[in-house]
Amino acid sequence: MKSLSKSIVEIIVAIILTMILTACNSQKQEVIILATTTSTQDSGLLDELVPVFEQETDYVMKVIAVGTGQALKMGQRGDADALLVHAPAAELILIDSGDAIDRRLVMHNDFIFVGPPSDPANVKSYDKPAEALKAIIESGASFASRGDDSGTHKKELAMWVEAGIQPEGTWYLQSGQGMGATLRIASEKNAYTLTDRATFLALQHTLEQDIVLEGDPSMLNVYHTMRVNPENWPSVNEPGAIAWSDFLVSNKGQKIIADFGIEQFGQPLFFPDAGKQEHEVGTN
């Protein structure tokens, strides 16, 4: 009988412990789906932001890192709660359509051209992207494109238009992948490519690539956060999306962004912009 009573007690204790654990876990089971560009993940920035956000809230972030074009389409379909992207013109289309709301300025860095250390097209002697692209064509060098409708790809295509060049042929390598993968392809193929600075610096130690053009004002790379409109998609986690958006532009979120990269690379990889007007981005 004593053995039977002991077994019953053990079962009851196990049930109680299971209930407690389930209750604790349930507080961390409300998920926020974030659709974002690969640069925020490949650079490591989200590895700094997300854990702090999760610790301070009862939410769990599910990050889906894709090209900005795909992230925007996820928002349009209601497949995400929040967006963190870097294609301003495309973002405004989503805002104007009512598919996304509450667009807020978060941060910026810049785009850069990188290429083989030998710089066969002598891109380092040019100041403008259009000039650099023409030099690459004339030299017979290769160019690696993301080809994925990302914010970086959209910026690259605009540069080809400005240069008056239709990019096509065996020299034009379209990866259809994220920034990290495209940088590795460019390195392996001795090709040039356009990249955001943060991803390049994060992966530079694995690449045979140098910065060959930087600093032109047209190469500013601006990131905004938006929320998917819950009026269109009632299943959207509106409170979670608001909490994430508020965190990104909060003093704590902005400080994490400001400090990111300084210890490892000796320079910040992103610059916080919350509270600024659009025309103030990139100005001292």
Instruction: Name the DSSP class of 111.
Output: E
Q: What is the C-alpha separation between 249 and 257, in angstroms, rounded?
A: 10
Tokens of 17: 């412990």
According to the model, what pLDDT value does residue 12 have? 55
Mean pLDDT of the chain: 90
For 225, the token pair is: 């956060």
The bridge status of strand 30-37 relative to strand 59-66 is parallel
3-state SS of 25-40 is HHCCCEEEEEEEEHHH
Residue 214 CA to residue 255 CA, distance in Å, equals: 25
User: Which residues of the chain, if any, have pLDDT below 70?
Assistant: 1-29, 284
Cα separation, 24 vs 18, in Å, equals 10
Give the chain's end-to-end CA distance (angstroms, integer).
Answer: 80
Coil, helix or strand at residue 272: strand
Q: Which residues contact 10 (CB under 8 A, 6 or more apart)?
A: none
Q: What is the pLDDT of residue 195?
A: 96
Q: How many CA atoms lie within 13 A of 144 on its CB side?
A: 25
* Amino acid 11: pLDDT: 52
Residue 283: the pLDDT is 74
CB 148 within 8 A of CB 69: yes
Nearest to 64 by CA among 54, 52, 78, 79: 79
Ramachandran angles phi, psi of 113, nearest 5°:
-95, 135
pLDDT for 203 equals 93
Residue 107 and residue 156 in contact, taking contact as beta carbons nearer than 8 Å: no
What pLDDT is recorded for position 15? 53
One-letter identity of residue 210: D
pTM score, whole prediction:
0.83
Strands 100-115 and 210-213: antiparallel
Rg (CA), the chain: 23
What is the C-alpha separation between 276 and 245, in angstroms, rounded?
16
Amino acid found at 217: P
What per-residue confidence (pLDDT) applies to 20?
46
For residue 149, the 8-state DSSP code is S
Where are the strands (E) in 185-257, listed by range? Answer: 192-196, 210-213, 220-228
Could you give the 3-state DSSP secondary structure of residue 156?
A: helix
